[in-house]
Amino acid sequence: DIQMTQSPYTVSASVGDRVTITCRASQSISNWLAWYQQKPGKAPKLLIYKASNVESGVPSRFSGSGSGTEFTLTISSLQPDDFATYYCQQYRRYPLTFGGGTKVEIK
- Binding footprint of another protein on the chain (CB under 8 A): 34, 36, 38, 42-46, 49-50, 55, 87, 89, 91, 94-101
Q: How far is the CB of 14 from another protein (least distance, A)?
A: 26
* Cβ pair 19, 74 in contact under 8 A: yes
Q: How far is the CB of 16 from another protein (least distance, A)?
A: 28
Q: How far is the CB of 15 from another protein (least distance, A)?
A: 26
Nearer to another protein, 36 or 71 (CB): 36
Nearer to another protein, 13 or 58 (CB): 58
Q: How far is the CB of 13 from another protein (least distance, A)?
A: 21
Nearer to another protein, 4 or 19 (CB): 4
Q: Can you tell me the distance from the alpha carbon of 63 to that of 80, in angstroms, rounded to the nearest whole number?
A: 17
* Cβ pair 92, 2 in contact under 8 A: yes
Count of CA atoms in the C-beta half-sphere (13 A) of 66: 26
Residue 60 φ then ψ, to 5°: -70, -10
Provide the sign of the torsion angle of the four alpha carbons 13, 16, 17, 20, taken in this order. positive
